[in-house]
A and B are shown apart, each in its own frame.
Chain A
């Protein structure tokens, strides 16, 4: 109940701060530029599969900014626990992005419905897409100054960079490296790239909505597990650190 109240408190403050105008403008822009033309379901989910993560970047950053202020001491001095505080920010941002997605879907359904997209199909595409939004929001929260101190944030960013590096260190550079280094690098890339697979496959699943194989269900479960892990890790780290808000 407190989580719900705190999320409401954060959302209301966000709305009153006027930052929501950015989301509204972006929403209108995407609708009028990309979603007014004749389209099919694949195109619709491709557009929203790119737009919603971009919106998540902005919205989650804004919510982290709202949370990382000395005002937080007054809230944490009351019954709002550290876990509730962090989850309230997370759910606040996700509500805004999911709301934007919902509005775009409604507008599209009402004004320019894709020929091959029924409600059931929309639900099947929405599930992995919303999980991806949540995953990105959770990752951004974990990388915020609230959760990890600077040193640890750099370590996590380094690991993410390494996970993505297979695209950049795949050709001549990899060949030029000594065998031992190359083996270690490949192993690390495979290991660290693992958690990225559900997110990428989730995007593909939203576009294709092909749930005929067990892999699709497994991927949904993997996305959900990864989300719970990221949030759990963030709450654990936040609960154990000295709380010194930025801009004191």
Chain B
């Protein structure tokens, strides 16, 4: 399979602020590639470079084997991060204009516009001004305009950014249906769930480079730690389950497997079923993708603790769901530690220094 996107040693800086620092990446035809990264990592910058809106300082960027990116636009569908469209138009006339700009005319234009309006569920609202659309509707319009000319490559920038949970789910379902059409898709996001649901391969952008890369099917195989919620366990059953392995921790209403494996998980579930215990839920505490992301970002970025003048040791506290190692002082970390760590983790996402980068 040929490469649709080929990027080698790409550098981009805004003035003296480096954003991409030697990024290399390849995406094959028909592949759905997810690029994860914290805010300000340079995901949007990369998409803007691919669209030819920005010019790289150094490095090579090829789309469909060509470095003349502006000439490749006819083969690209682009969904921008923010749902900013020309609100003085209604959806139908807006799509008609965009189709005309792409060279569509007559019956073909009419047919494509109607097809996409139906596909994204906006046909009934097609005569309404875009100024009256909700964010979710605007994002659906974004999908429609991107698919209008049957592009070979879809570049999607933060598709669910700023949407409420229902809107997020709606857009993810829509993109999942787009996936079925067989386009090559390059999706930038900082939501792990989107990547898990939609992508074949995932890369983590941190420190201006691809810090980690993996196939999502490998990551989906088994979660590194899981919690099985069950009906109340008797002491005897608890002891029996705990004896199945060193990573098994039993409580009255849950069993925790960490580290988890397919064999251990199967053995524990079988034991629970044999003991006629009702299994209420099985949920990953930290998915392999989450771990991949955390480790890649953790290795390449300065700790938020350091950034805020806090002791580096605080940064090494476990994330929520991760088992806390015992400390000499009190034998275990308290809930406050986890909360503090959660807050620090949030700092990492919310206050990354690159966040204020224009276009990033």
Q: Out of B80, B89, B145, name the residue touching A70 (CB < 8 Å).
A: B80
Given known contacts A70-B80, A244-B359, A9 and B53 CB-to-CB distance under 8 angstroms: no
Of all chain B residues, which has the CB nearest A77? B78
Q: Are B82 and A17 in contact (CB under 8 A)?
A: no
Is the Cβ of A78 less than 8 Å from the Cβ of B101?
A: yes
Q: Report if A75 contacts B (CB, 8 A).
A: yes
Does A73 contact B78, Cβ atoms closer than 8 Å? yes
* Total contacting residues, chain B, CB less than 8 A: 26
Instruction: Name the interface residues of B97-133: CB closer than 8 Å to any CB of A.
Output: 97-98, 100-103
The chain B residue with its CB closest to the CB of A18 is B88
Q: Mark A1-30, 1 if CB is under 8 A from B, else 0.
A: 010011001001100110000000000000
Assuming A70-B80, A74-B80, A243-B54, is B86 touching A80 (CB within 8 A)?
A: no
Taking the closest CB of chain A, its distance from the CB of B13, in whole angstroms, is 11
- B31-70: CB near A (< 8 Å → 1, else 0) gives 0000000000000000010010111000000000000001
- Tell me the nearest residue of chain A to B155, going by C-beta: A77
Please tell me if A36 contacts chain B, counting CB pairs below 8 Å.
no
Min CB gap B161→A, angstroms: 13
Q: Do B53 and A79 touch across chains, with their CB atoms under 8 A apart?
A: no
B141 CB, min distance to chain A CBs, angstroms? 10
Q: CA of A9 to CA of B97 in the docked complex: distance in angstroms?
A: 7
- B86 and A76 contacting across the interface, CB-CB below 8 Å: no
CB <8 Å contact, B53 and A78: no
Once A244-B358, A248-B358 are accepted as A-B contacts, the answer to whether A71 and B53 lie under 8 Å apart by CB is no
Q: How far is the CA of A242 from the CA of B48 in the complex (A)?
A: 9
Question: Taking the complex as formed, is B76 at the interface, i.e. its CB lies under 8 A from any CB of chain A?
Answer: yes
List of A residues within 8 angstroms of B88 by Cβ: 12-13, 16-17
Q: A12 vs B88: C-alpha distance in the bound complex, in angstroms?
A: 9
| Cβ–Cβ contact B358 & A73, under 8 A | no
Contact indicator A77/B73 (Cβ below 8 Å): yes
Cβ contact within 8 Å between A71 and B84: yes
Q: How many Å lie between the Cα of A16 and that of B86 in the bound state?
A: 11
Known A243-B54, A248-B358; contact A75-B101, beta-carbon cutoff 8 A: yes
Q: Which residue from chain B places its CB closest to the CB of A9 in the assembled complex?
A: B97
**A13 in contact with B86 (CB, 8 Å):** yes
A71 touches B78 (CB 8 A): no
Which A residues fall within an 8 A CB radius of B? Answer: 2, 5-6, 9, 12-13, 16-17, 69-71, 73-81, 240, 242-244, 248
* Complex A-B, nearest 9 residue pairs according to Cβ-Cβ distance, in ascending order: A16-B88, A77-B78, A243-B53, A78-B101, A70-B84, A242-B54, A78-B102, A13-B88, A79-B101
A sample of 18 more A-B contacts (CB under 8 A), given A13-B89, A70-B80, A79-B103, is: A9-B101, A13-B86, A13-B88, A17-B88, A71-B84, A71-B86, A73-B53, A74-B98, A74-B145, A75-B98, A75-B101, A77-B78, A78-B98, A78-B101, A240-B55, A242-B54, A243-B53, A248-B82
- What are 28 A-B pairs at a CB distance below 8 A? A2-B101, A5-B101, A6-B101, A9-B97, A13-B89, A69-B84, A71-B84, A73-B78, A74-B85, A75-B98, A75-B101, A76-B51, A77-B51, A78-B73, A78-B98, A78-B101, A78-B102, A79-B74, A79-B102, A80-B101, A81-B70, A242-B54, A242-B55, A242-B359, A243-B54, A244-B53, A244-B358, A248-B82
